Each structure stands twice: as C-alpha cells, then as structure tokens.
Structure 1
Amino acid sequence: MSKKEYDWANGATLSSHSKIKLKILDEYFREYLRIRCVLPQQGKFRLAIVDGFCGAGLYDDGPIGSPIIFLRVLKEISEELNIIRAIEGFKPLDMECSLYFNDLSQEAIYLLQSNIDPVMKEIAATCPRLSLDINFSIGAFEENKTSICDNIKSKNFKNVLFNLDQYGYTQVSEKSLGYLMGVARSTEIFLTFAIESFLTYLTPSRVIEISTNSSVPFAGNIVDIDKNQNKNQWLGSVEKVIFEALRYISSYVSPFSIHNPDGWRYWLIHFANSYKARQVYNDVLHKNKSSQAHFGRSGLNMLYYDPNEELNLYLFDRASRSHARNQLDRDIPNLLETNGGHMRIDEFYSNSYNQTPAHSDDINFSLVNNPDLHVITSSGGTRRSTNTIKSGDFVMLRNQRSFFSALTG
C-alpha cells in the first residue's frame, strides 16, 4: 500500500499513527538542527533532506504533512538561532538546504508544488539566512533513489536526512537502506512500515531463522498479527526480529512500534551512526510519552531475555522511567566491570545507546548518583551534577562495591 492510495485532490485523511509519526519527526528535526548548529564559531550548516513518499503536504481539514513540516522547522529554527546569536554577539548562521520531494503520484506532486508555494514565499521574504533548493520527482522511490543520491553527492552534502513513510514494506529494500546510509558522512533515516508487510517480506522461513538464531523467547506465532497484535509478548518478539534483521544497516537502530489502542501495526524506525542522534531520539520519545512502545528490559540491554527477570511494557512515560533507573543502577556497573572497571564517557555512550530506550537524564543520573560509580574529569575532579558531564570524562567503578550491588549484581 503506497501513498498513491491517498485521494489528495478530494482530501486525504490523516491517520492516528501518521499523526504520531509527524509529531515525532517535527520535534526531532528541531533538536537535530539546534544540536548541529550549536557552535558559536559555525557560520554555515548544509543539509539535504529526502522525502521519498512525500504526498501533497496537506491533509483534509488542514493538518500539514512532512514536506511543510520540514520547511516550517527550517524557517523557525533559522530565525531562532540567529536571534540567539545576535543577542550573544556571535556571527550569524547561514543554512543551506536542498530538499528532494518524491512521490509515485503525479497528482500529489502537482498539489505539493501549490501547497508549499505560500511557505516558500514567506521564507524568501523573512529568512535571508536560509537558502533552499527544492527538487521534485515522480515515480517509485526505489527507481529514483540513485539519481537523487547522485545529485546530493554532486553538491557535496555531508549531512543527509531521509524520511521514508511507506505504508507497506516492499517500497524500500534492506539493500537500499544500506545504500542510503552510505550517501554522506552523517546520514539518518526515518522509516515507517506496516509490520504485516515486513513479516511477509522477510518470509516465514527467515523469521524462524532469525528467531532461532536470536533465541527470541516469547511464545506464539509472531507472524499472525490479527491474533497477537495486542499481546506484549508478541510485541517483544517482533521487535527483536526487526532489530536482528536491520541492525547491520547502521550503528544505532531504534526498533520501536507506534503505540495505538488498536494494536502495534506500524513501526517507526530511526537509523543513525551517531550515539548522539540515538540519544536525542530517545529523549524526544520520552517527551511524547506513550507514542511508541517497547516490551522488554528498560536498562542497557533492552532486547536481552532472562526468564527470571520481570519484563514490562515500556511506553516512555514516568512509570517506565522509574523502572529504567532501577535497571540502569544494575546494568551500568556490570558494563564497566566487563570493560576493566572504567570507560571514557563518550566510549560508554557509544557502547550503550544502541540497546537502551532510556532517557539521557536517567542514564546520567545513574552515572552520578549510583553509589558504585563516580565520574572523574580529565584533571582528576569528581562530577557531582548530571548536566556537567563532558565527553572527555571517565566513569569508573568505586573500589568498594555497595551492599546493594552485592544483592542485585
């Protein structure tokens, strides 16, 4: 099922799972720009955005789609950052962005050109520091991706963001995902798909192979979505299969489903090669609590299964975070113990973030407040506040482990 099935001319309805996805995309993209443009001495930031299943940009009764979200966020963050820079006496920041809007539907692209016209005129009139280059293409993304990526490479973009909002799964292959991740030095992908299509694409034999090799522990036929879609164990099994199938695409893969009352039918996966990107994505999910779901552990090894350990539905809410802190207090010392008792903070983050749904504040809280740990600065001082931790610091096990760790380790 592809975007062409939307009746854009007569008003396309925004589904509940798409509404969740667009909100997460909006908030993540804002944080992405703020973080990538944080250095005061930085004078320019260049970015390419590829919206592979873009649609017409406007839904029935007014909600905006991803193309207009990207444009509005670029405008608002460009203005925000330059106001802050002017107040602080820093030089202004120029943003240069090429956007590639692709859709199988010719009607969608024609309507999109009209729908973004007012936004483009507003940007041209009010944002002198934002330079945009808009490109449109019609056809299957798999067929158009090479020419789009060649154009990106010819412009020497180092930062690329792909938004691939497919309804099924067959519109973007695993091989294509690997290809896209190699387009630029810093590439990230948002991939939406229907789990039923994904499991069909994998074929039952491959699902069984992954399940057997990964020791997926949960009972039941994970392919039978209609019978299992509301079962926590089914969610945990499918999440592990997705992760095992796609983990080689990038260094950090978030295999979380979109949480809906009618069951876990759609997944929104984020691929990145930077732990900072996964860190920010986790924090955005916590800000949008209950928007995505994970069943399993909430510490550093979210997909590990221990039959003696209680597993919970993690909805990125307050209750989930409380449970995560308890597991982090056990998991972090155990990780350090297997790495000689100490790690650089950036090395610790790099090793931790691919298999944790935890909020960065909860991880840092455990680093500073766990009685078995201390964070040491490069000059030998001790960090006592979570917001002062820096990438050059070290986290170390204390010589004397606590009574608590002896009971729980």
Structure 2
Amino acid sequence: MVTKQYDWKNGAIIGPHSKIKLEIIREYIYEYVQVRCSLPQQEKFRLSFVDGFSGAGSYECGTLGSPLVTLQALKAVSAEVNLRRKIEGFRPISFEFYMYFNDGCPDAIHALKSRVEAFLREHKEEKGGAQFWVKYCEGDFGRNLPMIAQLISASKVRNTLFNLDQYGHASVSEQHLRTALSLTRSSEVFLTFSIASFLAFISPTRRQNKRIFDGRISDISLHKHKKEWLAAVELVVFEEFQALANFVSPFSINNQNGWEYWLVHFANSFRARQVYNDILHRKKNSQAHVGRSGLQMLRYNSVEDATLYLFDANSRRGARDELLVDIPKFLKDCTPEASLSVASFFDRTYNQTPAHSDDFNSALLKSPEIEVVTATGGRRRKPQMIRRTDTIRLTPQRSFHFG
C-alpha cells in the first residue's frame, strides 16, 4: 500500500495536488452556501462539516489546511449573503455551522485546536456573525465515524459535507462512504486518494481487464503521463464508486507530475454536480478527464476517439459541439414521448458529463431539433431563463439529417 504520513509536529509539506484540492473545496463551499440561501423568505441555514483527516490546520509554508480554509470560507460567504440580503431589503439569515475535525495524530489535533480557537476568538469579536460549534476527534476516522454520525443526527442538521483527504486509499471504506452519504437528506463527500494505493486494493481481475500498452494500469510509474492510462483508470474509478451516489465525478487532479491523485465528489442531487462542474471550469486545468465531452462521457469506441478534457475554453468548445448532437439523440432514445422536464433531463444526464451548465442550456436552445417549453406553453428564448420545471422536447419538424 502507498501511504504518506504528514509530519505535523515538525511542519508538514503541502503537495501540489493538495493545493488544487483546497482551492476547489474553498470555491465549492462558497457556492454551496449561496445556492442554499437563495430564497428571500429563508431565516436559518445550518450545515455540518466533517473533516476526516484534518491535520494541524497549517502547513510548513504557512498555507492553511482544510479546517481553516473551510472556517474562513463559511465566515466570508455567510457575511456576504447577509450583506446582499440587507441591500435587497430581506431579513438576515441565522447561520449555524457544526464542525467536526478528526485526525489520528495527537500532535495535529493539538496544533489544530490552537489555530481554530484563535480564529473563533477573532470571529467572536465581530458581533452578528455566523455561529460555529467545533468538535475535535482524535483517532482512526472509521472508528470515530459512528460517534460523529450520532452527533450529526442528534443536531438534526440536514446539510452535511465530508472532506476525506486520506493518506493512501484504505483509510476510507465503501461502508464509510455509504454511512456519510446516507447521514442526512443532503450529504455530499469529497474523497481524495492516491491512485497507486487505490489500484493496489481493487480486484486483481478488474485491474487485469483494464490493461494498456504492454502492462497493467497499476504500473503508475510507467504510464502516469499518458492519456491512455488516465482513460483506463478513470473508468475503473467510476465503476468502483458509481453505485454509492447518484452523481460521482471520477476526475483526476491535474498536475505536471502526472495523474497520481484523484478528487472524487459524491452527491445525490444534480444541482450539486452542476455546481461542481461549473467550479472546475472556473478553476481551469485543476482536474482532468479523458473521454467524451458531451453526454455519456465514458462511452467511446477507442482511446484514440477520446479527448483530454481540462475544463478550459478548448474543452468547452468541444462540449458545445457534442451536446448539440447528443441531446436530441438522448431524448429520442430515452422516452417514447421524446420529452422530459428539465429537472428529469438533468437528473438522468449530469452523472455522465463534464459540461458547464451554460453550455448545457445553450445547446438546448441552439439545437434545431429541440425546443424548451414553459409551464404555460411558451417557448424559452434565452439560456439563462431556463427553469427546471420547463419541458424539453423534440421539435415536430426535425431536420433531414436527424437520425
């Protein structure tokens, strides 16, 4: 097994993949709270955040770790939401954040407590801000998860985010993920792991079935820079995890040292995946995907037909072209009526696409084979006006080339 134990006592060194992960999680939390707090009549928002491998809160270089990144993001976004509501004439939202920081290293927990308490003291002096409750858990995450789950259930918090950045792969089991994802009505998980460790633990038969070149996909040192290797591993990651949640993003962390680490996002709402995809496009080149860029992203005839999708401008152009073809075909194949509500369409398709939401909506209106109809029977003309209650359907008169 490949593992990496951080030396928190003497100062842990942050890796490039961890910097990318922290940026994505910071942006996701910011967007998550804004999406969840968009209703004018809303009065309260409560969130549980579980950091299963929290570390000491800071690295040797001074870069903040995930606990402090999360605390600062929650503080900033809650203040921004309430400032906007004040300007718009709405009552402020009461924010309550329940933080659970777990680590197996006593030195890490000791250092983390000091840093978090300093943050809380400073925050307390700013009257009217969000409320934070912090629980520290020392020891193995799997052994402490039942206790954490019980505390979250007792708090009756409906929104829960898990950040599980383990040292290798074996520290988080399938059962741990099932527990986390079923804990509340809206539970999501960020899982980071070393692909070398992951490949060492999955079925030998499955590794054998995904051979590339003259070797196995587990030969990471030989193939970690090659598109064919990334394609094979991405498919294995997706197959291994897809039964755990409705939406699983099997994208690797992209960096110049090769595709060695994966950051997988699990959610049961298409809206969560939609937000995640959009953030990856905003953070261009942070993650990598090999396959198709429209619908059914992992269904391609050969690796030569697949593209390297880096969530940048070039990738988006390819996605827009593919979506114009894929969406009409999907409607024709999936339902006899050749029509779906926008919500149902997204629910059926977002698990199999890296596309940006703007590209989705644009394709729905630009395709000559598709029309988007409102609840009152009108036609949508602008992508930003599309609503989940609208209906997507094939047009009565389709083009000559439509199959």
Q: 3-state SS of the aligned residue for 1:100? A: strand
1:284-299 aligned within 5 A: 284-299=279-294
* Residue 377 in structure 1 maps to residue 374 in structure 2: yes
Could you tell me which residue of structure 1 aligns to residue 81 of structure 2?
Answer: 81
Match of 2:340 among 328, 331, 343: 343
Unaligned stretches of 5+ in structure 2?
none
2-side partners of 1:128 and 1:395: how far apart? 45
- Opposite residue 376 of structure 1, the aligned amino acid is V
TM (normalized to structure 2)?
0.96
Could you tell me which residue of structure 2 aligns to residue 173 of structure 1?
Answer: 173
Match of 2:246 among 246, 251, 254: 251
* Residue 356 in structure 1 maps to residue 357 in structure 2: no
Deviation readout 1:126-180 (Å, 9 max, x if unpaired): 1524111100011010111111111111111111100000121000011211121
2-side partners of 1:183 and 1:218: how far apart? 39
1:44-83 aligned within 5 A: 44-83=44-83
Match of 1:365 among 350, 362, 365: 362
Answer yes or no: is the 8 Å Cα contact 2:288–2:309 preserved in 1.
Answer: yes
Q: 3-state SS of the aligned residue for 2:112? A: helix
Answer yes or no: is the 8 Å Cα contact 1:294–1:314 preserved in 2.
Answer: yes
Offset at residue 14 of structure 1 (A): 1.4
* Residue 264 in structure 1 maps to residue 259 in structure 2: yes
Match of 1:306 among 298, 301, 308: 301
TM (normalized to structure 1)?
0.94
Q: 3-state SS of the aligned residue for 1:87? A: helix
1-side partners of 2:24 and 2:199: how far apart? 24
- Opposite residue 398 of structure 1, the aligned amino acid is T
Match of 2:393 among 396, 402, 405: 396
Could you tell me which residue of structure 2 aligns to residue 276 of structure 1?
Answer: 271
1-side partners of 2:169 and 2:102: how far apart? 17
Answer yes or no: is the 8 Å Cα contact 1:368–1:384 preserved in 2.
Answer: yes
1:32-51 aligned within 5 A: 32-51=32-51
Q: 3-state SS of the aligned residue for 1:248? A: coil
2-side partners of 1:127 and 1:25: how far apart? 27
Answer yes or no: is the 8 Å Cα contact 1:218–1:236 preserved in 2.
Answer: no
Answer yes or no: is the 8 Å Cα contact 2:211–2:217 preserved in 1.
Answer: no
Q: 3-state SS of the aligned residue for 1:401? A: coil
Answer yes or no: is the 8 Å Cα contact 1:75–1:127 preserved in 2.
Answer: no
2-side partners of 1:65 and 1:189: how far apart? 17
2-side partners of 1:326 and 1:182: how far apart? 37
Could you tell me which residue of structure 2 aligns to residue 142 of structure 1?
Answer: 142
- Opposite residue 193 of structure 1, the aligned amino acid is F
Answer yes or no: is the 8 Å Cα contact 1:158–1:185 preserved in 2.
Answer: yes
2-side partners of 1:2 and 1:39: how far apart? 44
Task: Count matched residues.
Answer: 399
1:317-336 aligned within 5 A: 317-336=312-331
1:91-106 aligned within 5 A: 91-106=91-106
2-side partners of 1:23 and 1:203: how far apart? 33
2-side partners of 1:391 and 1:18: how far apart? 35
Q: Which moved more, 1:300-309 or 1:232-241?
A: 300-309
1-side partners of 2:38 and 2:363: how far apart? 26
Offset at residue 2 of structure 1 (A): 5.9
CA RMSD of aligned residues (A): 1.5
Percentage of matched positions with identical amino acids: 47
Unaligned stretches of 5+ in structure 1?
none
2-side partners of 1:16 and 1:309: how far apart? 29
Answer yes or no: is the 8 Å Cα contact 1:79–1:127 preserved in 2.
Answer: no
Distance of aligned partners of 1:345 and 1:217 in 2 relative to their CA distance in 1, 3 Å threshold: farther
